[in-house]
Structure 1
């Protein structure tokens, strides 16, 4: 039996015994694991997908726009019928303004309007009576009745005068030529013609005066009618009513006895539409170039942690054609998106309702691409 020889590892460098050396099993397993992970990572980069997104801020808004209630006329408040946050119905009286001035103006205009109508009716009756050559006016309208009587009396006087002068002229014509001079005949003829002219002139002047007065009163009637409509509208606007159903959001703190000016904003009415919301997103102008309608959007609510409540989804439904400038000077495009839910659930399945005004972080998905392509694009190796 040959004795055992101990040979140092260095001495095996050029000997065949080194090929008989085997690596540890742990090392082999480790190498396989690393290789598998690298292969998996490579395949994941090739076949895995990631989203190219645009990040933006937004806000939850009701689908129906918030209604701004403004005062249309100036006046003193005599009654306030709302409280901040109160739910109100459409048409409910919110504020009552002192209407004494507007009511007095309306009454004065109405009285004048009625008086003009009465005069117009009287003029029409005078014209009818003129053409009928008889008094068709009721004695209850004393002034118009008396006016036509004056016309009739004056016309009768002029008619009698004309008939008398004409009769004298006709009688003179029957006389022998030696009984009357031609100059006297011409004078009688002239007087008859002048009497007839006076009668015709008076009648024409009377009817023309009636027609002119009627036209003027009709014009005045239209003018007063327009003023009366404005007065009625002003009187109606002393009562400020809710244009829609919803919740009161106070803008101006008002009290009974306060004086409010024309066009003063009083409050907002937030629509009572908890079933449907939209998202108004402010996309920076530098990121808005690729955004198109029907692109998918993912939302995260800042009021609800995403890891506990999750988020929402939607799609782009509208992109404003022009940009806006914010107060801080930044330029953005207004994008409107839908929202798929109005209730969020926590891990205990407790419901929390989405409310108008909630802020959100939006991720607008431009497209899906492979992870490898994304890395290459990040390193500017592809365009």
Structure 2
């Protein structure tokens, strides 16, 4: 038999209808979708970034600092020579302070000393005038005496010349009479008379010699006195002027002690005038402050030690001023320009902001010196308090997600 019985029976039990084989859907599109989604997430995480920031407090101050002018001495403020907001130049007077003490009788000690010194100065000035007059008179007296002595000198010289002629004549007569006496023509008595006349002429000549010598000595003395007179005048004048100068110095010191002027240490704008006229000042009383010229405002930020690890120069700063709410007026940007290496303790009390922990001072420049609002520009002012975000580092989201892995790797390494 061509067909077996079993085969024929099997054909009898077949189901009616067509058999359709259902093929399974391909998994390729699903894998592609998952891959694209994963790639998009990776790209997003790598392209989008997140900035780490530290929020700190700070205040505005000029780049050159605020110069606080103190009295330096005790006294009463009698006059302010500047006004709030006025500009001053270096060494310009800004305040007058008086320091006076009273005596038992109610007289001011400084004024009493000043009057006494002024009287002494007037006495010395009078003495200087009198001494000038005395030296003028002395010079005229010497000139007069020199004139008289020169006249006497001329007269004595003439008398001496005449006396010399007489002496020579008497000498000749005596020699002739002596010769006659030796020859017996003249008696001794007559010779004695001639001899006596000769001696009288000789004595007269010697007396004139002495007078001439005496007059010459007097003339020399007068000339020497006249030569020394200008030096004596100069010496006396210098001595008195030195004493007057000493009194002037004492008066200046007394005036400075009694009433002294405070001057501006640097050019700038006056601000924060504290005492009023009539106030008593101690040595460390702050009279006013000066904002130096060409000193733009900067932000001084107080950085806690726990936040100081990653702050670097040129880090971006975003500042929110308390006086200008950032929701309405926006932020002011800046850059870190200086980071102090020394800590400032709360006990130092050098900040206008109360601190309870040690801080580093960080300086940041501002992108603008004014806030724009309502169509106007409102300038920032010294001392304004603000809150600032220091942008420490900027990394992608992927780097932030992988940061724990880097940390573990660093520890294992």
Normalising by structure 2, report the TM-score: 0.54
CA 1:102–1:39: 2 relative to 1, 3 Å: farther
1:194 to 207, 211, 217: 217
What residue is the counterpart of 1:135 in the other structure? none
- Deviation at residue 207 of structure 1 after TM alignment: 1.2
Q: Could you tell me which residue of structure 2 aligns to residue 213 of structure 1?
A: 236
Provide the residue aligned with 1:319 in structure 2.
Answer: 338
Over aligned residue pairs, what C-alpha RMSD do you find?
5.7
Cα separation, 1, equivalents of 2:41 and 2:249: 81
| Cα distance, 1:108 vs structure 2 | 7.1
Are the structure 2 counterparts of residues 76 and 304 from structure 1 closer, same or farther at C-alpha, using a change threshold of 3 Å? closer
Are residues 1:47 and 2:78 paired? no
**Superimposed CA distance per residue, residues 275-300 of structure 1 (whole angstroms, 9 cap, x where no aligned partner):** x74212345785488415xx543223
| C-alpha distance after superposition, 1:286-323 (max 9, x if no partner) | 5488415xx5432234676656664210234x537x74
> What is the match of residue 281 of structure 2?
260
Structure 1 residue aligned with 2:313, among 291, 295, 304? Answer: 291
1:200 positional shift: 1.9
1:108-134 Cα offsets, whole Å, 9 max, x none, are: 7778778877877x5xxxxxxxxxxxx
Q: Which residue of 2 aligns with 1:152?
A: 140
- Which one has a bigger Cα radius of gyration? 2
Q: What's the secondary structure of 2:219's corresponding residue?
A: helix
1:359 aligns with 2:385: yes
Q: 1:291 to 1:104 in 2, by over 3 A?
A: farther
Task: Answer yes or no: is the 8 Å Cα contact 1:68–1:269 preserved in 2.
Answer: yes
Superposed CA deviations along residues 306-345 of structure 1, whole A, max 9, x for unmatched, are: 56664210234x537x744413484735524124263377
Q: Which runs of 5+ in 2 are unaligned?
A: 1-13, 101-107, 169-198, 349-357
C-alpha distance in 1 between matches for 2:113 and 2:36: 93
The two structures have a TM-score, normalised by structure 1, of 0.57
Report the Cα distance in structure 2 between the residues aligned to 1:375 and 1:182, rounded to whole angstroms.
139
Instruction: Quote the residue 1:131 is aligned against.
Output: none
Aligned mates of 2:259, 2:269 — CA distance in 1: 20
CA–CA distance in 2 between the matches of 1:94 and 1:207? 48
Q: Is the 8 A contact 1:155 1:202 kept in 2?
A: no
Residue 278, structure 1, aligned to residue 298, structure 2: yes
Say if 1:324 and 1:214 are closer, same or farther in 2 by CA, change over 3 A. farther
Aligned 8 A contact 2:60 2:381 in 1: yes
CA distance in 1, matches of 2:311, 2:212: 100
Measured against aligned partners, the alpha-carbon deviations of 1:167-215 in whole angstroms (never above 9, x if no partner) come to 5366446524771499767744542342123202321232111122343
**Structure-2 separation of matches of 1:374 and 1:221:** 85
The alignment partner of 1:343 has SS state of: strand
**Residue 357 of structure 1 aligns to a residue in which SS?**
coil
CA deviation profile, 1:207-252 (whole Å, cap 9, x unmatched): 11112234345555665666666667677746999x96665453x6
Comparing both structures, which one devotes a greater share of its residues to helix?
2
Contact (CA 8 Å) 2:94, 2:261: kept in 1 or not? Answer: no
Distance 1:353 1:154 in 2: 83
Partner of 1:300: 320
Distance 1:306 1:145, change over 3 A: closer
Pick closer, same or farther for the CA change 1:364–1:117 going to 2, 3 Å. Answer: farther
How many angstroms does 1:50 deviate by?
4.2
